[in-house]
Structure formats: structure tokens, C-alpha cells
Amino acid sequence: MAAEFWRRELGLDVEVKVGDETALKQQRRTEELHGQMFWEDSEARKDAGSSILSSYGLPENDVRRHDNPELFQLVNKTLAVTDPADRNAAFNNLYLRLRDESFHLGIGYLNIPWAVGPRVVAWQPWPMSFYPSNLHGITLK
């Protein structure tokens, strides 16, 4: 869908390649995939703490997206917030900073449906989670 949009609206010569996630992540760490868009459909989540840490908070990580000491400090300060209401505000502040500096480009989100059985009366998984979540909130017949 994105490739077709880029072809039609931007006039780009786009080729879609589908591959194994582990192999692609290994290639992404080399020169092999430089200049290419890498799109994963499994990266949505309720709380992006783990990906924020690996991409922006660990100076020793070889796939980090910057070398700014002040940004490392902001990421770690954000991740230290544990109260849910305060954490949402802290992450919003961090996301605005990352957006303004164009460290990462999110091009879309596909909602992932979860199947349930006939015994399930109610279940509200977390809205931005790529894994089955809020299992303690399932109500059964």
C-alpha cells in the first residue's frame, strides 16, 4: 500500500521485498540496507520503552540513532518515570523532541486484530500492543 502510494503520488521507483525479520535486522546493521526503508508490522506497542532505550538511550548500542549526550540523558530520565499519567506526558515530550529532530519516521500503523473464543465475554487488549496484552482483564462466561 505504501509503495503504491509512493509510486503514484511521489513518482518514486519503489520495489517491495519481503523477508525474514531476523535476517533483515542483521542486514540493517550493515551497509547492505543503507538507503532503504525498513518497515515492520510488529512494532506497535502500548509503551515504547524498550525500543526507545535501544534506539536512543544506550550509547554503546551499535544501532542507536544519535550521538547526543543530552538526548541520552532525556531518554533515561523519561524511562525512569513510572507513574502512568506522568509517563504518558514524559513520553509525549520525548516523542516531540525526536519528531522535531527527525530521528525516526513513522509512516503508518496497521491495527492488529486478536481472535477470541466463545467463552470470552469481554477483553480489552492495550490499544498499541503487538502482543496479546491485558490478559488479566479477560472476562469468561
Task: For residue 63, give every residue at least 6 positions away whose Cβ sits within 8 Å of its Cβ, in sequence order, or none.
Answer: 28, 29, 54, 55
Domain ranges of the chain: 1-39, 42-110, 112-141
Cut 0.75: pTM above it? no
Task: For residue 43, give every residue at least 6 positions away whose Cβ sits within 8 Å of its Cβ, in sequence order, or none.
Answer: 51, 130
Per-residue pLDDT of the chain (141 residues; tens, 9 = 90+): 778 888 888 888 888 888 887 787 777 777 676 667 767 665 555 567 777 888 888 899 887 888 899 999 999 999 999 888 798 889 889 988 888 877 666 555 555 666 678 888 998 877 656 567 777 888 989
